[in-house]
Amino acid sequence: MIRFLAAFLLALTLPAHAGQVQVAAAANLAAPIREIAAAFQRETGHVAVVALGSTGKFHAQVRNGAPFEVLLAADAETPRRLEGEGLARPGTRFTYAIGRLVLWSAQPGVVDAHADVLRMPPQGMLAIADPRIAPYGVAAVETLKKLGLFSAWHGRLAHAENIAQAYQFAASGNAPLAFVALSQVAADGRIARGSGWIVPADLHTPIRQDAVLLNPGAANPAAVAFLAYLRSDAARAVLGAAGYSF
């Protein structure tokens, strides 16, 4: 009875102390971040309001005064740069995941285990996230260059605003192939639909994804709690099932 009463009183008081945190999250996190935000709210009562987009654009928005409190980037450089620019709190930056790049087609059987389709005469467009603002786009270009295939595909690259749009190009059939994040096409760390080739890690710079507390979140307990939750076993389990490593 006492235990029930304590739980009941906690349930009554939690909303009064619960807060809200504005999170800018890289587009490759679209699926797992929803699950993480929901679990975070169940555990803490805090609400994570998530905006998805390209890391490069978030950097520009933060510099222009956007009120984001936490950044989950698709790279390590942007949080480091924001810290150096005095726009993020020193000592709060950490790697929350390492992303994996996939050459993907919405059609089964198009992409084999060796990505031989890349070595055939190009047919249609190859969608990639814009390498000027998206780390997964940088990794895609590095992969093509390492394979000696960049010049063959250069004129057929469809630059998407971010990795989510690159996926949509291929999913809709507007591009027969796309370099996407494993998290977009994975279940339990494996490609679950269409056909794909998980790019070997030695073909591009590791996609180390860092999180950082931005200045507007420094005085917000919900922002601090969200970053702490991102380090938890529960959050890591969600990210691992989506294809990320650590």
CB 221 within 8 A of CB 11: no
Domain segments of the chain as ranges: 19-98+207-241, 99-203
- 222 half-sphere exposure, CB direction, 13 A CA radius: 21
Is residue 70 over pLDDT 60?
Answer: yes
User: Helix crossing, 55-63 with 77-84: angle to 10°?
Assistant: 10
Is residue 6 over pLDDT 90?
Answer: no
Task: Give Cα 243 distance to the centre of its chain.
Answer: 11
**Paired tokens of 26:** 């890289």
CATH topology of domain 19-98+207-241: D-Maltodextrin-Binding Protein; domain 2 (3.40.190)
Q: What phi and psi values does residue 121 have, to the nearest 5 degrees?
A: -55, 130
For domain 99-203, which architecture applies?
A: 3-Layer(aba) Sandwich (3.40)
Query: Given this chain, do its domains 19-98+207-241 and 99-203 carry the same CATH topology?
Result: yes
Work out whether strand 177-181 and strand 190-191 pair parallel, antiparallel, or are unpaired.
unpaired
* Residue in the structure block whose two tokens are 């969200």: 226
CB 112 within 8 A of CB 195: yes
pLDDT tens for residues 159-182? 999 999 999 999 999 999 999 999
- In the predicted model, what is the mean pLDDT of the chain? 93
What is the per-residue pLDDT for 47? 98
pLDDT tens for residues 125-172? 999 999 999 999 999 999 999 999 999 999 999 999 999 999 999 999
Give the contacts of 224 (CB within 8 A, at least 6 positions apart).
213, 217
Percent composition of the chain: helix, strand, coil (DSSP 3-state, to 5) = 45, 25, 30
Is residue 15 over pLDDT 50?
Answer: no
The DSSP element (H or E) to which 102 belongs, if any, is: strand 101-105
Is residue 5 over pLDDT 70?
Answer: no
